[in-house]
Amino acid sequence: MKEMQEKILAEGKVISGGILKVGSFLNQQIDTDFLKKMGKEIAELYSGEKIDKILTIEASGISIAVAAGMEIGVPVVFAKKHLTSNVDGAFYSADVHSFTRDEDYSVVVSIDFLSQGERILIVDDFLANGQALNGLLSLVKQAGAEPVGVAVAIEKCFQGGGDEIRGRGIRVEALAAIESMSADTIVFRNN
Ligand code: 5GP
């Protein structure tokens, strides 16, 4: 998505540790016009597929997932990073290592919201090492549901998570895919 690349070049900041900050349009302030375009793009990419539900992870994946869910016309489920009183009864759970915080956490979803045979599109903001998405894929598998594929706003290809997931036969789409980045240069895949 050309506009995503332009947005990253105009507003993104590369900080130490291989982290790209996009707080001005995605991770803290949300550019709602642009969010709508992201939702349309994801819906277009997966237009040939039957999708029953979108699964994402709190917090930054939710806005993108909802934008895509409104375009596709399906519900959005978000995995929680902590067991709260909102998740009562039985739940699916997977362990995830956070790239940005360097700590482990669990992703949990109540068994009420993922069912056997459902076709699930997984959406998130960033794909780096693939830990978060692998956690979500594990929840889908535990439910006996089927992963239609993954859509992320930004893939950092140099961390390898996307290609590892593709290697397992799962479709991965990124609105922008970064091959390499430094404080003053960002190189996109396929640009
Ligand atoms: P992964 O599990 O693929 O290593 O990392 C994905 C998760 O870490 C995403 O859900 C996202 O919240 C966070 N993340 C990874 N890399 C970045 C980055 O460069 N910038 C920001 N803002 N978040 C990132």
Residue 27 Cβ inside 6 Å of ligand 1? The answer reads yes
pLDDT at 83: 76
pLDDT at 82: 82
Percent helix, percent strand, percent coil in the chain, to nearest 5: 35, 35, 30
Alpha-carbon span 97 to 191, nearest angstrom: 31
Find the range with the poorest average confidence among 90-99, 112-121, 125-134. 90-99
Q: In this predicted model, what pLDDT tens digit does every residue of 29-66 receive, in sequence order?
A: 999 999 999 999 999 999 999 999 999 999 999 999 99
Confidence band, pLDDT 50/70/90 cuts, at residue 89: confident
String of DSSP letters for 113-129 = G--TT-EEEEEEEEESS
**Which of 126, 138, 164, 182, when mutated, tests ligand 1's pocket best, judged by the most ligand atoms within 8 Å of its CB?**
126
* DSSP at 30: -
Residue 134 CA, closest ligand 1 atom number: 2
Q: Tell me the pTM.
A: 0.96
Average pLDDT in the chain: 95
Task: Give the number of residues written for the chain.
Answer: 191
